[in-house]
Amino acid sequence: MAENESVTGLVIALGGRIYALHQGSIVQLGERRNLVHALCVHEGRLYDAGRTMQVVDTLSGETVAERDHWILALCSHEGRLYDAGSTNRIFDTFSQTEVGKREDAIQALCSHEGRLYDAGDYCRVYDTLAGEPVAVREDWILALCSHGGRLYDAGADGEIYETLSSTLVARREEAVLALASAGGRLYDAGEERRVYETVSGTVLGEREEPVGVLCAHQGSLYDGGTQGWLFDSLSNRNVLAGRKGITALCSVPADLFAALLARGGQVPQPSWGRLNDWFAG
């Protein structure tokens, strides 16, 4: 059995298509008419959103909310689902209540220590529901991450901060697009085409194209980006490849994943040893 056949419970978005990886199989869960930018597990359901300007229950295909511009972030916080993006607004998804308005696009939402935070092209991190800025940066903020009891942010200037103290913890030469907490360590990746262990600066791997997404899953870390290749970051091994860029990743609990698999459709593909042309078009 190939080593990659052990990957299960991970959901990925490649362009507008959503897939599940399960023990050597690739199962298509859904297809949207435009790019999917966000996947989020909330109250036992998986939701997706993006340039369709809709939040969709991935399992049922039901649209649960519609916006007037791209949705770039979803976040489950204290029993409620929130969405935000190029509308410059943050919504309580199901009640359709606007809970925040910003000057520019919202790139990230993060639940941390009982509070919801947002950040984006307005160069600030906000305590979302309080409506108060908690940090100011010199450039766009593209990622937020709760790690080890602290909140971190990173963005277009390549700088990574412990948010609430504004302590600089790392600096990259190009934009940082993603942060993730896995196994008690903080990781970052972005335009440098590298995946870093943030504090030590150790490079886990180099990629051919920018890395836009990181995801902790079952004790490991996965990364993907515009090249369409998914890597197990900690082992630096390629898991799969495709022609479409990876725009979102999500680790899904076993019971929900089983339900998704039951509704999904098997995708014919070569053996796991061949990593080309799996996702045509």
Q: pLDDT confidence of 82, banded at 50, 70, 90?
A: very high
H or E stretch covering 257: helix 254-263
Q: Which residue has the higher pLDDT, 24 or 40?
A: 40
CB atoms within 10 A of CB 254: 9
Q: What is the mean pLDDT of the chain?
A: 91
Say how far apart CA 246 and CA 226 lie, in whole Å.
6
pLDDT over 90 percentage in the chain:
82
The predicted-structure confidence for 249-258, as pLDDT tens digits, reads as follows 999 999 999 9
H or E stretch covering 256: helix 254-263
Residue 159 has pLDDT above 60, yes or no: yes
Say how far apart CA 193 and CA 107 lie, in whole Å.
20
The predicted-structure confidence for 161-196, as pLDDT tens digits, reads as follows 999 999 999 999 999 999 999 999 999 999 999 999
Per-residue confidence (pLDDT) for residue 269, from 0 to 100: 52
- Please answer whether residues 83 and 90 qualify as being in contact, where contact means their C-beta atoms are separated by less than 8 angstroms: yes
Q: Which range among 163-172, 243-252, 268-277 has the greatest average pLDDT? A: 163-172
